[in-house]
Structure 1
Amino acid sequence: MLLDATMDQFLVELGLALLDLCPGPVVVFIDPRLHASAHAMVNKARHLIALFDKANIRRWRLLVTLPATEEGMRAAAVLTHEHSIQTNLSLVLCLSQASACIEAGAKMVTMSVGKILEWYEKQMKSAPPVTIDHPGIEVIQTCASYILQHKLNTTLMAADIRSWTELKQLSGIGAAALTQQQLDQIPMHTLATWFPRRDDASRSTQTARAAPYPTKYLESKQEFFLSPLPAQQRRLVSAVLYVRLGQMNVLMRDIESVVREEVRSHVEVITVDLGALYLSRRKELEVSSGVREGRRQSRKGQSRASSSSVSDSDCEKSRVGGTLVSSPIHEAMTRMIEGVDYF
């Protein structure tokens, strides 16, 4: 389908532009509307990576982003272990979900910091200070400590950050996705990467140490990252993950609508009958030239035209005083430049 091919090419061109600005890795997004089908996500990811392969982009410079649904994790496992494609699983919200993503072979897991904190604040019906004791910060820090404790080859990225205060409470994260406004504020903030001490006795570190490793989540045929969770974490995942997917689906439809209109306009230009178009334009010029000449003749009161005038019968060119003079029609047509859209 032309629209699908155009959307894919748009994502690839965007990725290539970003790769020109940084060494990578660059995140390549899979359409979130495919989140319920591992097969569809695998096929789409392979197709996009094949386009990057044709552009001679090495695969270590790319991270294919999938939503951390059950099907997204299964797709990540296939892409990682069967096709050597690096993956980033997004919308990770708790330790069990993060563990399943790591088991699937994800090179990166992305946690939505602001969304996690907002959910806990709504449950408490208040907005407590953002400190290491904030329940949302504890959830994120537990995942970071879990990765560090077991020396896993997975990076935790913090996204949807509302303020610098939230980012400063987290230790051991590998990356952060910042808005342009936050990037502009970097000189005004002191931000250092730090790791928990070996004797750290915080609740998040203790929870990470007590968590099972390795897990067998992917061997389950049930909703493996939801069924074993406490009720509170199940509500968190259900509320944030699927609400965010719904919002992303709306945004993708908007983007697709813009691309569809652009494709339609290009198709109309490519398929237009240029011969008929030029003929129509020529007739318009003849009519407008005739009207102007009629007005000119009327003003002169049927007097003889001077050497610079052109009669209605001179359709193309006439000789005045031995000199070849172009008619208004001919002048308008010869001034048209090939490749310029006049219509």
Structure 2
Amino acid sequence: MTNSSLLEKLRGMTVVVADTGDIQAIEKYKPRDATTNPSLITAAAQMPQYQDIVDGTLAQARKTCGASAPVTQVVKLAADRLAISFGLKILEIVPGRVSTEVDARLSFDTTGTIAKAREIIAQYEAKGISRNRILIKIAATWEGIQAAAVLEKEGIHCNLTLLFGFHQAVACADAGVTLISPFVGRILDWYKKDTGRDSYPPAEDPGVLSVTSIFNYYKKFGYRTEVMGASFRNIGEIIELAGCDLLTIAPALLSELQSMQGDLPRRLDAGRAAQQQIDKIALDKAAFERMHAADRMASEKLAEGIAGFVAALEKLEQILAARAQA
């Protein structure tokens, strides 16, 4: 490993996941898993090389709805299924799992989230894909976390996303979710804007510190929920989280890691975490809501993230509508 890239060294201690809907990028970097979200799927749907996937999904939606169905009905079904179409292609490449997101408009609807997640799993299983290869992505609202608790008991594994606050992480672990995705870069973005600072040293990066504290808490108390750092802004953040259970990294940063050599010490270690003095937190809905209201960063970034994913879905529906009527 002496002359290997930082990417290879990272893979020696952390599961590397591709944060993209770009199938060609996934083929290039060969991650174990891949994650998608509405913004990534909308971006991929506009790439010329994936128009066959878009057109095939539209054609299947039209067939399902019937020739006389209004375009709006066809588009709604196609938008629902497009992430699964990309997921199926991705699963032909990665040996592990793909994360597919529930409609962000259901982020505060526990019953609706459960129903949509079951529907997504049923569509994958109809194509011969085991539910063990799918992570259902759900926003880490209180309602989303409760939906995940139900789904996990059914063997439907969940990835709780848009996670910014420690209270969200604790609630996810208590609910027995498979994996969480704390958004390192978006936390940094908020602090830079709030403080007026241009940058933070990687070891003092607020997003890095947040993931480190969550990782240590989980390992201290033996939670099985995995921590997957996400939304990176720079290589320094990734280096500081070497040893995290998983890291989901965009293609540009994967390329940078692949081109770099040097030492990569393990920063996060379960054994060291177990020796730390950490207090356990008791959390119910009222405590969660109090902590969320008190955490200005988490409150603002969660609301902003949900709004952004909803906007991406609406843009995707507009793209599909234009294509369906072309």
Percent of paired sites with the same residue: 26
Instruction: Report the counterpart of residue 238 of structure 1 in structure 2.
Output: 299
Paired AA for residue 129 in structure 1: Y
Corresponding residue of 2:268: 195
Cα shift readout 1:70-92 (whole Å, capped 9, x = no counterpart):
111111111112x2200000011
SS state at 2:137 partner = strand
User: What runs of 5+ residues in structure 2 fail to find an aligned partner?
Assistant: 1-72
Give the drift of 1:197: 7.8
TM-fit CA distance, 1:230: 8.0
Give SS of 1:227's match: helix
**Alignment counterpart, residue 145 of structure 2, candidates 64, 73, 96:** 73
Which of 48, 58, 62 aligns to 2:134? It is: 62
* Post-superposition offset of 1:192: 5.3
Partner of 1:258: 319
Task: Tell me, yes or no, if the aligned pair for 1:130 and 1:166 is still in contact at 8 Å.
Answer: no
Distance 1:199 1:19 in 2: 35
Among residues 99, 111, 116, which one is paired with 2:187 in the alignment? 116
Q: What code does the residue aligned with 1:101 have?
A: C
**C-alpha spacing 1:171/1:263, structure 2 compared with 1 (3 Å):** same
Choose from 215, 229, 235 the match for 1:144. 215
Select between 40-49 and 180-189 the one with higher mean Cα deviation: 180-189
Which letter does structure 1 place at the counterpart of 2:111?
Answer: H
Could you give the per-residue CA deviations for residues 298-335 of structure 1, whole angstroms, max 9, x where no partner exists? xxxxxxxxxxxxxxxxxxxxxxxxxxxxxxxxxxxxxx
The structure number with the bigger radius of gyration is 1
- What is the TM-score with the length of structure 2 in the denominator? 0.71
1:125 CA displacement: 2.1
CA distance in 2, matches of 1:56, 1:169: 39
2:238 matches 1:167: yes
Query: What corresponds to 1:276 in structure 2?
Result: none
Q: Aligned Cα RMSD in Å?
A: 2.4
Q: Distance in 1 between the 2:223 and 2:270 partners?
A: 18
Q: Aligned ranges for residues 1-343 of structure 1 at < 5 Å?
A: 1-81=73-153, 83-190=154-261, 191=264, 193-196=266-269, 206=277, 209-212=278-281, 215-217=282-284, 220=285, 222=286, 224-228=287-291, 231=294, 234-265=295-326
Deviation at 1:51, TM superposition (A): 0.8
Report the number of matched residues.
252
Q: Which structure is higher in RCO with an 8 Å CA cutoff and minimum separation 6?
A: 2
Q: 1:29 to 1:192 in 2, by over 3 A?
A: farther
Question: Structure 1-normalised TM-score?
Answer: 0.67
Amino acid at match of 2:303: Y
The range that moved more, 122-131 or 248-257, is 122-131
- Structure 1: which 5+ residue stretches go unaligned? 266-343
State how far apart, in whole Å, the 1-side matches of 2:298 and 2:127 are: 38
More moved, 131-140 vs 52-61? 131-140
Q: How much does 1:174 deviate?
A: 1.5
Equivalent pair of 2:243/2:268 in contact (CA under 8 Å)? yes
Quote the residue 1:323 is aligned against: none
Q: CA deviation at 1:53?
A: 1.1
Native 8 Å contact 1:113 1:158 kept in 2: yes
